[in-house]
């Protein structure tokens, strides 16, 4: 019930923000579609913390701000590798250990790795991610641990062991 | 863009300094976004194999697109349009790595082996000539 009301509130806010019309007919359409969507999610029984992640939206925003700064840093390194006069790259495949088996934390981590230029997650296994790294400075598996911790924290999930 | 910028700043004498700052910042953001898009396309042409080219393309759709969107947000000010642009930026952060991962994963599944080890561009060009 708590999830259903949260979803209703979030969708109503989105509708009002994005439509910008406050005419009776449009609002009625919005009301009908919100009821329909909530009813369908309830029927599909996917109403849980994962589909309604609005409670930790502040943490996620904080994480994305941190990630954006990392993206800027990595971008500058890759630009140097592209247009630098003595440009040199050393591609490598590395295995990065993963300390969680919860889907959303894994998705968040693999997504962040791909989002940072210079590293692309190629294959996701149970306990590690296979990553293709472009530069030598980016190919140390222990450097990814901080991103792993932060991305797990952004979706309120604790990591297993160490 | 420079012409538009100059005409906006010089011809319109009623501009407040905050508006001038807004135009300057948005021009700067769009210009640096374009720089990253250009560098990404050069990288796609210059890098040696499939996987390394993906990195260059990734640069285009992260910082390039985001900086251009930030510039557009600054240009439109605090309106509904800027909110929509902000949402587009957020969705790009979710969808572009998904597409990149899908391409990389399908290449990996099809047993495409990446070129590993050191690689310098100047050497390649000398070999060709």
Q: What is the pLDDT of residues A6-34, one digit of tens each?
A: 889 988 988 988 888 888 899 999 999 99
Alpha helices in chain B (DSSP H): 2-6, 17-46, 50-59, 65-76, 80-109, 121-128
| CA dist A88 → A71, B53, B124, B129 (Å) | 20, 14, 11, 19
Neighbours of B92 (CB within 10 A): 16
Residue B9: predicted pLDDT: 63
Strand partners, A129: A96, A124
Tokens of A88: 């040199």
Show which of residues 28-67 on chain B sit within 8 Å of chain A, judged by CB atoms. Answer: 36, 39-40, 42-43, 46-47, 49, 51-52, 54-56, 58-59, 62-63, 66
Alpha helices in chain A (DSSP H): 2-19, 24-43, 57-83, 103-115, 145-154
User: Which of the two residues, A67 and A84, has the higher pLDDT score?
Assistant: A67
Residue B22: predicted pLDDT: 87
Beta-carbon separation of B39 and A122 below 8 A: no
User: Which of the two residues, A85 and B67, has the higher pLDDT score?
Assistant: B67
User: Which of the two residues, A136 and A29, has the higher pLDDT score?
Assistant: A29
Residue A36: predicted pLDDT: 94
Tokens of A139: 């190919």
Contact yes or no for A77/A135 (Cβ under 8 A): yes
Instruction: Express each pLDDT in B77-104 by its tens digit.
Output: 888 888 889 889 888 888 888 888 999 9
Show which of residues 45-64 on chain A sit within 8 Å of chain B, judged by CB atoms. Answer: 64
Q: Which of B51, B115, B120 sits opposite A87 (nearest CB)?
A: B120
Domain count, chain B: 1
Q: How many angstroms separate the CA of residue A9 from the nearest CA in chain B? A: 18
Range of the domain at B43: 16-111
Tokens of A97: 């250990």
User: Does residue B24 sit within a domain?
Assistant: yes
A128-133: strand order across its sheet: A92-97, A128-133, A119-124
User: Does residue B116 sit within a domain?
Assistant: no
* A128 pLDDT more than 60: yes
Q: Which of B42, B90, B107 sits opposite A83 (nearest CB)?
A: B42
Residue A158: predicted pLDDT: 74
* A122 pLDDT more than 70: yes
Tokens of A46: 């996917």
Mean confidence (pLDDT) of chain B: 82
Contact yes or no for A80/A126 (Cβ under 8 A): no
Tokens of A93: 């495949």
User: Does residue B4 sit within a domain?
Assistant: no
Closest C-alpha to B59, from A102, A80, A116: A116
Q: How far is CA A138 from the centre of its chain?
A: 20
Beta-carbon separation of B63 and A121 below 8 A: no
Per the listing, tokens 């021009």 go with: B27
* B14 pLDDT more than 80: no
Residue B122: predicted pLDDT: 60
Closest C-alpha to A38, from A9, A18, A61, A60: A9
Residue B120: predicted pLDDT: 72
User: Does residue B99 sit within a domain?
Assistant: yes
Contact yes or no for B15/B67 (Cβ under 8 A): no
Residues of A within 8 A of B116 (CB-CB) are 91-93
Categorize the per-residue pLDDT at B121 as very low, low, confident or very high, splitting at 50, 70 and 90.
low
* Complex confidence, ipTM: 0.80
Closest C-alpha to A118, from B125, B109, B47, B8: B47
User: Does residue B58 sit within a domain?
Assistant: yes
DSSP letter at A45 equals T
* A139 pLDDT more than 80: no
Contact yes or no for A78/B36 (Cβ under 8 A): no
pTM as predicted: 0.80
Residue B129: predicted pLDDT: 45
User: Which of the two residues, B5 and A62, has the higher pLDDT score?
Assistant: A62
Q: Which of B62, B104, B121 sits opposite A132 (nearest CB)?
A: B104
Mean confidence (pLDDT) of chain A: 84
Beta-carbon separation of A87 and B121 below 8 A: yes
């Amino acid at each position: 019930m708590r999830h259903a009301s949260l979803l209703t509130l979030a969708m109503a806010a989105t509708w009002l923000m994005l439509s910008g019309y406050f005419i009776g007919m449009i609002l009625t359409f919005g009301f009908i579609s919100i009821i329909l969507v909530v009813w369908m999610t309830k029927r599909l029984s996917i109403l849980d913390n994962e589909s309604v992640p609005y409670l930790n939206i502040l943490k996620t925003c904080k994480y994305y701000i941190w990630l954006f700064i990392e993206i800027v840093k990595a971008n500058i390194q890759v630009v140097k590798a592209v247009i630098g006069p003595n440009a040199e790259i050393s591609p490598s495949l590395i295995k990065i250990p993963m300390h969680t088996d919860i889907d959303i934390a894994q998705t968040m981590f693999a997504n962040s790795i791909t989002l940072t230029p210079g590293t692309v997650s190629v294959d996701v296994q149970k306990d590690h991610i296979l990553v293709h790294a472009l530069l030598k400075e980016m190919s140390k598996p222990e450097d990814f641990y901080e991103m792993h911790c932060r991305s797990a924290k952004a979706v309120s999930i604790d990591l297993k062991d160490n | 863009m420079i012409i538009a910028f100059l005409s906006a700043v010089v011809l319109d004498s009623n501009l407040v300094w905050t508006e001038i700052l807004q135009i300057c910042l948005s021009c700067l953001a769009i210009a640096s976004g374009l720089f990253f898009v250009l560098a990404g396309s050069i990288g796609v042409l210059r890098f040696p194999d499939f996987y390394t080219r993906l990195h260059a393309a990734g640069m285009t759709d992260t910082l390039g697109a985001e900086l251009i969107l930030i510039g557009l947000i600054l240009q439109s000010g605090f309106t509904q349009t800027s909110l929509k642009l902000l949402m587009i930026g957020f969705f790009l952060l979710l969808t572009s790595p998904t597409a990149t991962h899908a391409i990389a994963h399908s290449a990996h599944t099809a047993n495409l082996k990446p070129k590993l080890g050191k690689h310098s561009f100047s050497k390649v060009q000398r070999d060709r000539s």
